[in-house]
Amino acid sequence: MHCEKNIAENVMKTIFGEKDTLGVRLDMKEAGIRKHLWPVTGSKPGSVILPRSSYVMTKKERDVFVEQVRALRTPTHYVGQLRKRVNVDGSIKGLKSHDYHVLMQQVLPLCVRCTMAKEVRTTIIMLSRVFRRICAKTIDPTTIEEMRGEAAIALCMLEKEFPPSFFDIMSHLVVHLVEEVEICGPVHTRWMYPIERYLKTLKGYVRNRARPEGCMAEGYAVVEALGYCTEYMQSYTVTTRRVWDDKEDPSMYDEILEGAERARRLPPDLQQWIHEFVLNNAAPLEEWRR
Amino acid sequence: MYIQNIFLCPHPMFVNMCCMRVPCFVSHNVSPRKWQDEYSPIDLFSHAPKSGHSSQTQSNSISSDREEGEDGEVEVLRMVGECFSKYDCINFDGNETQDNIHVGLGNAMVEYSDGEDRSPMESHEGSDSEKEEMNDPMERRSTMNMKDPGGIDHEILLREAGTPLYEGSPSNRLTSTLLLLVCCTTFAVPNNFVDELLKLLKETILPKDNTLPKSYYEAKCMLMKLGLSYDSIHACRDGCCLFRKDLSDAAECPTCHKSRYVDNSKTIPVKVLRHFPLIPRLRRMYSCTRLAELMKWHVTGKSEDKVMRSVVDSKAWDHVNNRWPWFAKEERNVRLGLALDGVNPFKNQSLSHSTWPVIMLNYNLPPWLVTKNFFIMLALIIPGKESVRDKNVDVYMAPLIEELQELWTGIDCLDGSQQNSQTFKLHGILLWTVNDFPAYGLISGQVTKGHRACPVCGPNVATRRSKALKKNVYLGHRRQLPMTHQWRRQSSMFDGQPEMRPPPRRMSGREQLRYANERHEWMRNHGGNQGGQTADPVHEHGVKRRTCLYDLPYWKVRVCNEAHYVSGSSHLLRYCDWTFSYCDSQYEISNCCELLRRIF
């Protein structure tokens, strides 16, 4: 979770140019790599010019990117409202860690299309793909070797395209994340998301600011006792809610559509195109196509 | 269809209490059943078979049976029975009972705490003697008056259950309070509202002489008596020690000589560690029929097509099964995860206060329940205001580690899902821990920043110090590529050098222990207070100390990785020293040999 969030944050800052500072360029000079990006002295005395780098979006590309993020429509509760995180000046700020998760998995590969150089774009898409595989709900153990190779390649591509300053310890840990998936299985019960959520619950028990720990302990004890008591109150069906229930909350598995519905019609040519695509590619029609 | 024998008080909570060092009132034969098929989640817990008719008649027969020859004492119990009979249909099979009563109203004061580990069943075997005791009201009274060391006062409980809400009320005090609280809790209403609601009900809506608690506080106090308590352990101001065991009477810390109590006080402690005992909680879990069934989910839940869908299908899980077949044989044995993280309990981020809850995850449960609030067990609350540090995290974790050790050797536990509620030896293992990266460094005793920031690679991580950025950068990912990959030779696109080094070696559990010892030695020779100096071996290998997890007999483990990472499994991966050894040395060596054979 944190690893993914930190890397996504890092990527965003890098492509938005927030991390492309003089220090980064000097570091390249120090390491003796990418000569074309080294800072050069400007015409005015004391001024320094940083040559344009491929990993930073131009103003125009950035506008396209931000516009796409803003226009994104997702199922309800799929992600926090990303469009509200886009500021007037085109920066994206105040994302929560789950927003970064969705950003990394879905939004980035979608929105970087048509922006930046092809290599940089592919790198980001590749990285996103690695995280998508790590976070998959089901994992085929036979594909793990492939996953490991993919992670290595994605990191090498990053190394090629992004500045060295990008590589803090978090990016190194991606390799180990894959190993971890191999050993411990899917991440959904292993990552910090549920724990962080639970910490919020604990925090909610604090009523007396002078004794936060005591409040947490008491609150937990009460809810726990109540939970076990309700175990024996199964025949009370008057209230449907319980402290825990084996059944999911229906609002969680059914998508709730919000807003007034409006019928839309696809443009005829697009409709035609989709039809053809389906007919040409649907697996059950294989023998008819032959 | 099984017919169950519930002799007197049918409430399974008393069966629970049996596991919570309290008098054992009752046992019942619960039919083994496939809960998913036969029972909807709602009626899972009612111990009645589905046919309501027969249970009705049977419960009539029990009450008539009970009424003859019983006096006031039984009256109370009967009221409790009635109170809970709303939850659980009472069944009584007139033909079978006399032979099949398993636990009577008990002389079974089961002491788990005293280390003798007596089985609750052993202490009252023989149904005949029980029957006699059952029939002796005096005996029962003496048992009921016992107050268990856990603080659950049964007399109060029975009194609450026996108090009607008001004259002629169909409900009693306990039930109505519980229902109200459940409702308020599930909808997360403010405390003030609960206060107001109770006041309104008590003073305006219900008849004058009602017994409803008058405030949330009062209701809560009542409820707390039904649950398990927690231990408050006093701690030194700096976390040098916990005032328990030998130090339980000490007034100051033996190391730093700071007072245990706040100034000018002899009773108010400076710091209190809250410890929620894990073992009674697991026992209670097994005494609930539905939960006990859920705890065995991992047997049926294992995927059959080799695709990993949950942690149950993982290699680590299999490793535990292969390494300790005796552990795997008992499907009720628990596999736990430990999570440690800091939280600021205030909404105001500018107030620095860092409380560190330690949380246990129970991986026996189905994956959709593992992370539900109700199933997340709080184990410790490490108090702020300063956050936990390397030097004191082990101290705070000690009570939990001791419990885990005990759990590994096995504890007696009563299984509520089985017929006859038999006891069995419950074992538990800690599979891995779940942390963010800084907490990972804390709990694994390693460095998470600087030259040796990767806790998995340890001394083998490739890093470069950038003067311009004043930080370390971790390049060299080409080492992960196959040796023949063309990028390995392309220098200009990467860091200017061809990369021919093999992938970094993972630090094994044993290496980690060796490094930890080395550091310990060094610290001792240098007066213990020179950490961070240039000569400090921690700069070499990144291991600061031997973490308390190594006190667990099975944790000879390479803790692997990440912001969230793991402890172990057997399968050596690509590199010869990925030793996840839960290893005794024999095992590790044989494994390495095997690997070397494969590689060369």
Complex prediction ipTM: 0.82
In terms of Cα–Cα distance, which of B157, B382, B345, B364 is closest to B271? B382
pLDDT of residue B571: 26
Which residue shows structure tokens 């009635």?
B82
**A288 inside 8 A of chain B by CB:** no
Burial B214-235 (b: 16+ CB within 10 A, else e): eebeebbebbbbbbbbbeebbb
Residue B357, burial from CB neighbour count under 10 angstroms (0-12, 13-18, 19+): buried
Which residue shows structure tokens 């299985």?
A185
In terms of Cα–Cα distance, which of A152, A177, A155 is closest to A166? A155
Question: Which residues of B, range 124-183, sit inside 8 Å of A by Cβ?
Answer: 178-179, 181-183
Let me know: does B423 contact B412? Beta carbons within 8 Å. yes
Strand positions, DSSP E, chain A: 40-41, 48-49
For the cut 80, the answer to whether the pLDDT of residue A265 exceeds it is yes
Q: Does the distance separating the beta carbons of B478 and A225 come in below 8 Å?
A: no
Amino acid at B477: H
For the cut 50, the answer to whether the pLDDT of residue A14 exceeds it is yes
Mean pLDDT of A178-198: 87
Let me know: does A166 contact A10? Beta carbons within 8 Å. yes
Which residues in chain B are contacts of A10 at CB distance < 8 A?
A: none
Which residues in chain A are contacts of B492 at CB distance < 8 A?
A: 33
For the cut 60, the answer to whether the pLDDT of residue A63 exceeds it is yes
Q: What are phi and psi of B27, to 5 degrees?
A: -135, 165
Question: Which chain A residue lies closest to B311 (C-alpha atoms)?
Answer: A185
**A183 inside 8 A of chain B by CB:** yes
Rounded percentage of chain A residues whose pLDDT exceeds 70: 90
For A93-96, the CB contacts below 8 A with 24+ separation are A95/A9
Read off the tokens for B31.
């039919």
List all residues 6 or more positions away from A20 whose beta carbon is below 8 Å from its beta carbon: A14, A50, A53, A55, A56, A163
- Kindly give the interhelix angle for B137-144 and B72-85, rounded to the nearest 10 degrees: 60
For residue B443, the number of C-alpha atoms closer than 13 Å in the C-beta half-sphere is 31
pLDDT of residue A123: 93
Percent of chain B that is helix, strand, coil (3-state, to 5): 40, 10, 45
Burial A189-200 (b: 16+ CB within 10 A, else e): bbbbbbbbebbe
pLDDT of residue B529: 66
Query: What CA–CA distance (Å, rounded) separates B326 from A24?
Result: 57
List all residues 6 or more positions away from B410 whose beta carbon is below 8 Å from its beta carbon: B425, B426, B427
Determine the 3-state secondary structure of B130 from DSSP.
helix
Which residue shows structure tokens 């319980």?
A242
pLDDT of residue B50: 36
**B43 inside 8 A of chain A by CB:** yes
Which residue shows structure tokens 């008001």?
B166
- Sequence length of chain B is 600
What letter does residue A115 receive in the DSSP assignment?
A: S
pLDDT of residue A253: 57
pLDDT of residue A243: 63
Max CA separation in chain A (angstroms): 84
Rounded percentage of chain A residues whose pLDDT exceeds 90: 33
Q: Does the distance separating the beta carbons of B564 and A1 come in below 8 Å?
A: yes
In terms of Cα–Cα distance, which of B566, B528, B520, B565 is closest to B545? B520
Mean pLDDT of A11-19: 91
Q: Does the distance separating the beta carbons of B373 and A244 come in below 8 Å?
A: yes
Read off the tokens for A6.
């930190």
Q: Does the distance separating the beta carbons of A184 and B566 come in below 8 Å?
A: yes
Question: Which residues of A, range 76-95, sit inside 8 Å of B by Cβ?
Answer: none
Q: Does the distance separating the beta carbons of B357 and A226 come in below 8 Å?
A: no
Determine the 3-state secondary structure of B26 from DSSP.
coil
Which residues in chain B are contacts of A247 at CB distance < 8 A?
A: 41
Query: What CA–CA distance (Å, rounded) separates B40 from A49?
Result: 71
pLDDT of residue B356: 94
Read off the tokens for A158.
């990053």
For the cut 60, the answer to whether the pLDDT of residue A124 exceeds it is yes
* CA-angle at B183, arms to B180 and B186, nearest 5°: 145
List all residues 6 or more positions away from B519 whose beta carbon is below 8 Å from its beta carbon: B536, B537, B538, B543, B544, B545
Q: What is the mean pLDDT of each run of 10 residues along chain B (600 residues)?
A: 29 35 31 33 34 37 37 38 34 30 28 32 35 36 35 62 79 81 79 89 87 87 79 90 89 89 88 92 84 88 88 86 87 90 84 91 90 90 88 92 92 80 86 85 85 83 88 89 88 84 80 85 77 77 85 64 31 27 34 41
CA distance A113 to chain B (A): 24
List, as one string, the DSSP characters of B549-571.
GGGSTT-----B-SSS-B---S-
List all residues 6 or more positions away from A123 whose beta carbon is below 8 Å from its beta carbon: A154, A157, A158, A160, A161, A162
Read off the tokens for A41.
């002295």
CA distance B525 to chain A (A): 32
Let me know: does B343 contact B357? Beta carbons within 8 Å. yes
Burial A28-58 (b: 16+ CB within 10 A, else e): bebbebbeebebeeeeeeeeeebeebebbbe
What letter does residue B201 receive in the DSSP assignment?
A: I
Let me know: does A103 contact A12? Beta carbons within 8 Å. yes
Which residues in chain B are contacts of A207 at CB distance < 8 A?
A: 191
Mean pLDDT of A248-273: 72
In terms of Cα–Cα distance, which of B561, B581, B562 is closest to B571? B581
The reply to whether omega before A247 is within 30° of 0 (cis) is no
Mean pLDDT of A222-251: 66
Q: Does the distance separating the beta carbons of B361 and A226 come in below 8 Å?
A: no
Mean pLDDT of A171-183: 86
pLDDT of residue B39: 32
In terms of Cα–Cα distance, which of B185, B217, B174 is closest to B198? B217
Amino acid at B381: I
List all residues 6 or more positions away from B578 whose beta carbon is below 8 Å from its beta carbon: A179, B506, B508, B558, B572
